[in-house]
Chains A and B, each alone.
Chain A
Amino acid sequence: ETGVTQTPRHLVMGMTNKKSLKCEQHLGHNAMYWYKQSAKKPLELMFVYNFKEQTENNSVPSRFSPECPNSSHLFLHLHTLQPEDSALYLCASSQEGGRRGNTQYFGPGTRLTVL
């Protein structure tokens, strides 16, 4: 389970805090993703980066700010979150190009609790 790593694994923050989630992929992939996983809801795609460029923002509130400095690293900066933002945040990566069947590989996630 070292292909995609995420830190921290658990995070508790107040609504006025600023924190960042980190994701790193060791698979040589060129695309990275942020997903939100809430109980009893489908995984929600938040952001997509292809070759470090953001290609998808799925109507995510501005209190979530992604950053992709290179193809191996992805951050999610958090600011002024709400309790309903508490969820498991998953990072994934894939090698894109050609046909659309490229598998996305997931990290273990960061369990975020907003008080």
Chain B
Amino acid sequence: AQTVTQSQPEMSVQEAETVTLSCTYDTSESDYYLFWYKQPPSRQMILVIRQEAYKQQNATENRFSVNFQKAAKSFSLKISDSQLGDAAMYFCAYRVDTNKLIFGTGTLLAVQP
């Protein structure tokens, strides 16, 4: 069965510093997609970044980048120059079959001023 594991329930980072959130997944497929979603307190879940497994290049979106290690089934999210608005719950997700997203349990990120 496909699973997604986020081993860090909570993380903390100083404003302007860099933080890395970890995610591992289990799959037997070779072609799939991975996502990081952000859910601020009492606000909507939004997509941060996504990675296509057949692309070797790591995805980047402004201050957000991933370290995708396909052989290790690892998909970590790096947030550079952390800002107060980055404080949120971050979910890693894996897309299986045609529509199904499998989510991890999330990492709660606190940003200290």
Distance from A43 Cβ to chain B, minimum over Cβ atoms (Å): 4
Chain A residue nearest to B91 (CB atoms) is A43
The complex places the Cα of A103 from the Cα of B48 at a distance, in Å, of 11
The size of the chain B interface, using a CB distance under 8 A, is 25
Contacts of B43 in A (CB 8 A): 1, 108
Decide if B103 touches A90 in the complex (CB within 8 Å): no
Contacts of A103 in B (CB 8 A): 35, 47, 50
Binary flags per residue of B76-107, CB closer than 8 Å to A gives 1, else 0: 00000000000000010001011111111110
The complex places the Cα of A27 from the Cα of B97 at a distance, in Å, of 22
Chain A positions within 8 Å of B, measured between CB atoms, are 1, 31, 33, 40-43, 45, 48, 50, 55-56, 90, 94, 96, 100-101, 103-109
Chain B positions within 8 Å of A, measured between CB atoms, are 4, 31-33, 35, 37, 43-47, 50, 52, 91, 95, 97-106
If over half of B's interface residues share one DSSP class (helix, strand or loop), that class is named, otherwise mixed; here it is strand
Decide if A101 touches B33 in the complex (CB within 8 Å): yes
Decide if A96 touches B91 in the complex (CB within 8 Å): no
Give me 5 A-to-B residue pairs in the complex whose CB atoms sit less than 8 angstroms apart, sorted by A's number: A42-B102, A48-B100, A101-B95, A103-B35, A106-B45
Contacts of B46 in A (CB 8 A): 106
Decide if A96 touches B99 in the complex (CB within 8 Å): yes
Contacts of B32 in A (CB 8 A): 100
Decide if B105 touches A42 in the complex (CB within 8 Å): yes
